[in-house]
Structure 1
């Protein structure tokens, strides 16, 4: 038997590494994201520009430097749990949220080109607990 590094095996075989489900439950992943945002509540974050008007493929690939997603992706714990990038689609999958909920947290139409991290954290907590949306946002779903 010949031993080769995994990186070389993919050139001679169809190697598939099984994806593991995150160890943290959905609620804890969302709580961690909110807590990361709350560490610097006055930090100004960029929003994603008009998410709802983009074709699906473009929407899923959207990102912005210094966004709420950048804060999540900069966390080694969330990355080790499986957050693949700071792109919209990767966040929707990882946090197990709907595109609508991600839109509420991240889109420019809910507050302009930028928002404070404390506002982003409030929105994350709102999508985590939809029954409390009125408390977090002052409006109901």
Structure 2
């Protein structure tokens, strides 16, 4: 098999580097599926995100966090996830601070949390309206 550089291929064929377009629901679902693939995996939480100024909070990252699980996925990276910082997750998954804080902060789970627990909270956070409120209330009584 012959190999060509992309520039060489452009001369003889139409080369397209398209990135997959995923809806918000698809991005959130993919992240939840990744977490659910190993539900007992122990993940590291981010510490006290609510106390930091926004410019510091968006730069927060830690290896082994729920966000780094998402960033390790080639599908989400190809769809536009640029890094494993709090700010990257905030913008890519189209979450607000309250929602992301509830998924990754140590004040909710302690220093470590099982991936399956984060996945359940992620799925509840992604449901809108009354169903979402009820799903989040149900999580208050389960862990």
Task: Report the TM range for the smaller structure's normalisation.
Answer: 0.7 to 0.9
Across the two proteins, how many residue pairs are aligned to each other? 121
Q: Which runs of 5+ in 2 are unaligned?
A: 1-6, 8-17
Q: Which residue of 2 is the match for residue 48 of structure 1?
A: 46
Q: Which residue of 2 is the match for residue 112 of structure 1?
A: 110
Q: 1:25 to 1:86 in 2, by over 3 A?
A: same
Distance 1:137 1:28 in 2: 25
Q: Which runs of 5+ in 1 are unaligned?
A: 6-19
CA deviation map 1:85-135 (0-9, x unaligned): 010001010000101100000000001100000011011111101332123
Q: TM-score with structure 2 length normalisation?
A: 0.79
Report whether the alignment pairs 1:39 with 2:42. no
Runs of 4+ in 1 over 4 A off after TM superposition: none
Note the 1:1-141 alignment, pairs <5 A.
Answer: 23-129=21-127, 130-131=132-133, 132-138=135-141
Asked if structure 2 preserves the Cα contact closer than 8 Å seen for 1:123 and 1:137, the reply is: no
Offset at residue 41 of structure 1 (A): 0.6
Q: TM-score with structure 1 length normalisation?
A: 0.80
Q: CA RMSD in A?
A: 1.9
Q: 1:52 to 1:22 in 2, by over 3 A?
A: farther
